[in-house]
Structure 1
Amino acid sequence: MYSNGYNVYKNNSVNYASKEQLLLMLVEGAVKFCKIARQAIVDRDVKKAHDALTRTQDIFSELIVSLDTSVGEWAVELSRVYVFIKEKLIEANLKKSLEIIDEILPLVEDINETWKEAYSRSKR
């Protein structure tokens, strides 16, 4: 019963979110799944690591295609960062490498913080 109510709430929060809120949900999800993947590798849970890394890759794929690079050089540079992270995620997934995840997780967290700050400033 409660699970169904939570799913309805979750679906509504996505369906009625602004573009900016959806972007925040994506980057927060990227941090979450990257951390889940890291712990799964530590726990030697290959399937869980694969699933979490694949979800993180999918998020970065979405961020890449949704980025409007015509708005300025900053967007082009951000696209390059997204592509770099996605490539590293693929490599981390193939090798199940903690070292690679530890290299890119701070970047993913920085992107999350940057978009949170941008969203906050846009609301002032």
Structure 2
Amino acid sequence: MAYQPYQAYKDNSVNTATPGELTLMLYNGCLSFIKQAKKAIETENFEKKNEFIQKSQNIIRELMVTLDQDAPIAKQMLPLYDFAHHALTQGNIQNDTEQLTAAEDIMRQFRDTWKDVVKQERIRQHGQGVRS
């Protein structure tokens, strides 16, 4: 097998990431898959649309399962994750990019907030900013 530097970089990034950075990667992955699903709808590639939406939904389910149910904020986050997951389901069934955009907006807000949390944690621990 040929050496693939990008894959090695990705593997190393995941293996050395903090839990906060891993969560940020999940949000970014979810947003990327939603974007790809919207493009697939526009090009009428419904097989790819379904694949990308399912990947987005899997990420949201993982975020839901790993949510600390004892944290007070969890009771506010869980319904939003559930809404995003449902919007993706409806977007998949109806080939509706507006539904995907609704889910994308929620996940982007979570991602942006989490990105700030990771940045503040890095500053607190190391005096460094966060890379996008």
Query: Counterpart of 2:20?
Result: 20
Gaps of 5+ in 2: 124-132
The residue identity in structure 1 corresponding to 2:121 is S
* SS of residue paired to 2:33: helix
Of structures 1 and 2, the one with the larger relative CO (CA 8 A, separation 6+) is: 1
The residue identity in structure 1 corresponding to 2:96 is S
Q: CA RMSD in A?
A: 1.3
Give the C-alpha shift of residue 67 in structure 1.
Answer: 0.6
Query: Counterpart of 1:80?
Result: 79
- Residues 6-28 of structure 1: per-residue CA shift (max 9 Å, x gap): 21221121122111010000001
What CA distance in whole angstroms lies between the structure 1 residues aligned with 2:7 and 2:63?
24
Please give the TM-score of this superposition, normalised by the length of structure 1: 0.91
Gaps of 5+ in 1: none
What is the percent sequence identity of the aligned residues?
30
What CA distance in whole angstroms lies between the structure 2 residues aligned with 1:23 and 1:104?
17
Is the helix fraction higher in 1 or 2? 1
Map 1:61-100 to 2 at 5 A. Answer: 61-72=61-72, 74-100=73-99
Query: Counterpart of 2:105?
Result: 106
The residue identity in structure 2 corresponding to 1:112 is R
What CA distance in whole angstroms lies between the structure 2 residues aligned with 1:51 and 1:64?
20
What CA distance in whole angstroms lies between the structure 2 residues aligned with 1:7 and 1:79?
33
What CA distance in whole angstroms lies between the structure 1 residues aligned with 2:5 and 2:120?
33
Map 1:40-79 to 2 at 5 A. Answer: 40-72=40-72, 74-79=73-78
User: Which is further off, 25-34 or 74-83?
Assistant: 74-83
Larger Rg: 2
Runs of 4 or more, structure 1, over 4 Å off, are: none
What CA distance in whole angstroms lies between the structure 2 residues aligned with 1:76 and 1:15?
30
Give the C-alpha shift of residue 103 in structure 1.
Answer: 2.2
Please give the TM-score of this superposition, normalised by the length of structure 2: 0.86
Query: Counterpart of 2:128?
Result: none
